[in-house]
Amino acid sequence: MNIYKPVRTIGLVVTVGALVLSAGCAKKDQGEVQTSGVKLIKAGTLTICTHLPYPPFQSKDASGKVVGFDVDVMDLVAKKLGVEQAIVDTPFEGIKSGQDLNTGKCDAAAAGMTITEERQKVMDFSAPYFDATQAMLVKTGKSYKSLDDLKGRKVGVQAATTGRDYARRFEKEKSLQLVEFEDLAAEQQALATGQIEAAINDLPVWAEYIKENPGGFEVAAEFDTGEQYGISVKKDGNPELLKTINEELAKAKQDGTYDALYEKWIGQKPRV
**pLDDT tens, the chain, 272 aa long:** 444 333 333 333 333 343 333 333 333 345 778 767 899 999 999 999 999 999 999 999 999 999 999 999 999 999 999 999 999 999 999 999 999 999 999 999 999 999 999 999 999 999 999 999 999 999 999 999 999 999 999 999 999 999 999 999 999 999 999 999 999 999 999 999 999 999 999 999 999 999 999 999 999 999 999 999 999 999 999 999 999 999 999 999 999 999 999 999 999 876 54
Inter-residue contact 108 to 74 (CB < 8 Å): yes
First-to-final CA distance of the chain: 58
Q: 157 vs 88, 121, 209, CA distance in Å?
A: 23, 24, 15
Ranges assigned E (strand) in 77-236:
84-89, 108-109, 123-125, 130-139, 154-158, 177-181, 198-202, 217-229, 232-234
